[in-house]
Amino acid sequence: MIDDIKIKLKQVAAIVDGNKNLLKYKLGISNEQDEKVFAARRKVCNACPFRSATDKCIKCGCPLGAKTRTNKTNCPEGYWKTN
C-alpha cells in the first residue's frame, strides 16, 4: 500500500515536471539539448504498440505529452531511458 502510494507520487511528480518542460518549450525558454532528447522519445512512443488512442502509455498510464518531456522517468518497456 505505502509502496503503491510512493510509486504514484513519483509518477505525479514526473508528469508535473514534464508539463513544466512543455510550458518552457511553449515560452521559448527550453533547453535545446533536452528538446532533442524529448523529440527522439516522442518518435519512439508514437510508433509504440503500447501507445493508446488517447496518447497515453498503456504500460504505466502516463500521458505521453508529459512523460516524454521529463528526466524523472523511463519507458517501462526500456525503449528509451533517462540518462
- The binding site for ligand SF4 (CB under 6 A) comprises 44-45, 48, 50-51, 57, 59, 75-77, 79
CB 56 within 8 A of CB 4: no
63: left (phi over 0), alpha (psi -120 to 50) or beta: beta
Give the residue with the Cβ less far from ligand SF4, 2 or 34: 34
Give the residue with the Cβ less far from ligand SF4, 25 or 80: 80
Give the residue with the Cβ less far from ligand SF4, 25 or 79: 79
Partners of 63 in the β-ladder: 56
11: left (phi over 0), alpha (psi -120 to 50) or beta: alpha
